[in-house]
Amino acid sequence: MSQPMPKPGRVPTMPTLPQGIEIGAFGDYAGAQRAVDHLSDKAFTVQHLTIVGEDLRMVERVTGRLTWGRVGVAGLAGGAWFGLFVGLALSLLGGVDSGGSIVAAIAMGAGFGAMFSLISYSFSRGKRDFTSSSQIVAARYVVLCAPEHAGQARRILEEANLRSTAAPRPPAGPTAPEPQPGAQSVSPAASAGPGSAASGEPSEGTPVSPPRSQYLTADGRPRYGVRADPPAPDATDGR
């Protein structure tokens, strides 16, 4: 039994897969956003639309090298901002000298921030000497629309020449397994069932040759050994 489609504009309370008809597929998020913006400008009910990212990947972009100087400066700046906040709070609530308290709070915050940052960096022992920024990126961004409004949305996008730019999704189906490195290929004759020549078993109607053994002759008769005649009697025995 299929689940009912959620009402337009309402986010489901439970994680559910999106439903709708694909009206466009784009290679980047900017293309999908441009299509939805154009539909909104044409007074289309955008509550019927959903942007779905397919083939998600986590991308970490390295922004620079991390050194003791950069760690100290970053801690100094963060501590100064925190000290400014504390100084403003003390000047507003404590009734003390505003200028002196703010400057003192900024200096103390900057010093403690730089010290804590350098101590934390020393514990890492150089295992992560770079800075980076992480993002979740999709290979395709698909715009889905409710079935009863999909035709109107497609017509509006075609009039604005906003066509799909992403490659079509490959059809789902069984594919041949890729050969593993070092695996031996099996010939069709070797993979045949019983009775094939490669399986080593005789098939129906094929004459079976007798097994060869050291106790059988070439024509299949049993080999009992070589007959030894008794020695001739000596002429002197009769005397």
Write out the DSSP string of 5-25. PPPTT---SS-----SEEEEE
Give the pLDDT confidence score for residue 12 in this predicted structure.
67
Given a contact cutoff of 8 angstroms between Cβ atoms, the answer to whether 54 and 140 are in contact is yes
Residue 3 is predicted with a pLDDT of 52
Residues of the chain with pLDDT under 70: 1-12, 94-98, 170-239
Structural tokens at position 105: 């709070």
What is the model's pLDDT at position 177? 58
Q: Are 12 and 3 in contact (CB under 8 A)?
A: no
Q: Classify 193 in phi/psi space as left (phi over 0), alpha (psi -120 to 50) or beta.
A: beta
Q: Is the pTM of the predicted complex or chain greater than 0.75? A: no
- For residue 2, the model assigns a pLDDT of 47
